[in-house]
Amino acid sequence: MSINLEKTLVVYNSEIEGARDFAVLVAEKLQNSSLVSISDIDKSQKPTLVVVIGGDGSYLRCAREFSDDEVPIFGFNMGHLGFLVQAKPDELTCATEQILGGKFKIENRMMLETVVNGKKYLALNDFVVKGKTFSRTSVYELYINDNFVSRYLADGLIISTPTGSTAYTLSAGGPVISPALPSIAIVPICPHTLNARPIVVGADEKIRIKCADCNTAEYKLTADGQEEVTASSEIEISRSKTNAKILLLSEGENNFYTILREKFGWGVAPKK
């Protein structure tokens, strides 16, 4: 597969020790590259490829920033778990040679969107809805395609893509979903009942959440755990028309199930 490397943007997280120095090495390997700190991203640069040096948080921000322009994103992991940032620093030469040689594939990953106070917000992982006071439970009413589904007394609700199913959703007891399956997971956070369970619905379903008592009828919404906004007592979330473009190397074990096994330690027999 070929890709336009005419203008590669190497984005580094300056809060991670050694990230900028490593970004310089990456830029030297890839032609026509420029460097920028993640805090100074400027979409007007119009890159044809974005290489992220950092962790999943840095990757998620770049995915949201450049999804409208359909720019492929690749990442080197200098963070912690690193589920989205694919390569390790010691794989610099191998990874860049594969990119230059066209030995990769690009996956379209669905995103979610909502409009709050006239502004559109995107999420590659998830939207999280919580009451204005984070330390208190609130009552949330869930509607799907305008049909009332359930009322939750909980700390909040997670609305997740398949990509986000291995993040906050997993920690809250939600299912792991293959990114090939177009779907949305709805997971209550610490529900104050034993009959509240996660729900997986089709990707094209329209989700509406009403906060019945969210402290003066307001809630806080976060996108991918990063962008936060305070809004009124109702929010609508749906599949975005734009996708994140994930660049995956062809060589090596980089498929979803291998990453699951390696990152979460699945399939390992207990020690005697």
CATH code at 116?
2.60.200.30
DSSP 176: P
pLDDT higher than 90, residue 205? yes
DSSP 31: T
**Do residue 164 and residue 55 come from a single domain?**
no
**Do residue 255 and residue 236 come from a single domain?**
no
Mean pLDDT of 149-164: 94
pLDDT higher than 90, residue 168? yes
Residue 52 falls inside a structural domain: yes
So what's the pLDDT on residue 4? 78
What SS3 state is found at 21?
helix
What separation in angstroms does the CA of 125 have from each of 34, 162, 226? Answer: 27, 8, 11
Residue 269 falls inside a structural domain: no
Place of tokens 């119009």: 46
So what's the pLDDT on residue 134? 60
Percent of the chain at pLDDT > 70 equals 92
So what's the pLDDT on residue 106? 92
So what's the pLDDT on residue 13? 93
Quick one: tokens of 157?
């609700």
**Dist. CA 247–CA 144, nearest whole Å:** 33
Among 212-216, 242-246, 265-269, the minimum mean pLDDT is found in 212-216
- Amino acid identity, position 225: G
Residue 146 falls inside a structural domain: yes
**Do residue 234 and residue 202 come from a single domain?**
yes
Residue 3 falls inside a structural domain: no
Mean pLDDT of 224-232: 89
Number of domains in the chain: 2
Exposure letters 163-193 (e unless 16+ CB within 10 A, then b): bbbbbbbbebebeebebeeebbbbbbbebee
So what's the pLDDT on residue 272? 58
**Do residue 130 and residue 185 come from a single domain?**
yes
- Total residue length of the chain: 272
Given CA atoms 147, 131, 183, 264 in this order, what sign does their dihedral have? negative
Among 120-124, 168-172, 255-259, the minimum mean pLDDT is found in 255-259
* CATH code at position 78: 3.40.50.10330
So what's the pLDDT on residue 198? 95
Q: For 53-111, write each residue's pLDDT tens digit.
A: 999 999 999 999 999 899 999 999 987 767 888 898 999 999 999 999 999 999 999 99
Quick one: tokens of 224?
């991918």
- Amino acid identity, position 48: T
**Dist. CA 127–CA 208, nearest whole Å:** 12
Phi, psi for residue 35 in degrees, rounded to 5:
-110, 145
Helix axes 92-100, 19-29, angle to 10 degrees: 40
Question: CB–CB of 201/183 below 8 Å?
Answer: yes
Among 64-78, 123-137, 172-186, the minimum mean pLDDT is found in 123-137
So what's the pLDDT on residue 172? 94
Catalytic residues: 56
**Do residue 116 and residue 237 come from a single domain?**
yes
81 versus 9: which is more confidently predicted? Answer: 9
**Do residue 93 and residue 117 come from a single domain?**
no
Quick one: tokens of 23?
């970004």
> Among the ranges 29-38, 151-160, 263-272, which has the highest mean pLDDT value?
151-160
How many Cα atoms within 13 Å fall on the side-chain side of residue 119? 9
Threshold 0.85, pTM exceeds: yes
Quick one: tokens of 234?
């109702």
**Do residue 136 and residue 190 come from a single domain?**
yes
**Structural domain containing residue 37:** 8-103+250-264
Q: For 211-226, write each residue's pLDDT tens digit.
A: 776 555 678 899 999 9
Tell me the sheet residues that pair with 74. 51
Place of tokens 């619905």: 201
Exposure letters 136-145 (e unless 16+ CB within 10 A, then b): ebbebbbbbe
CA nearest neighbour of 164 among 198, 135, 213: 198
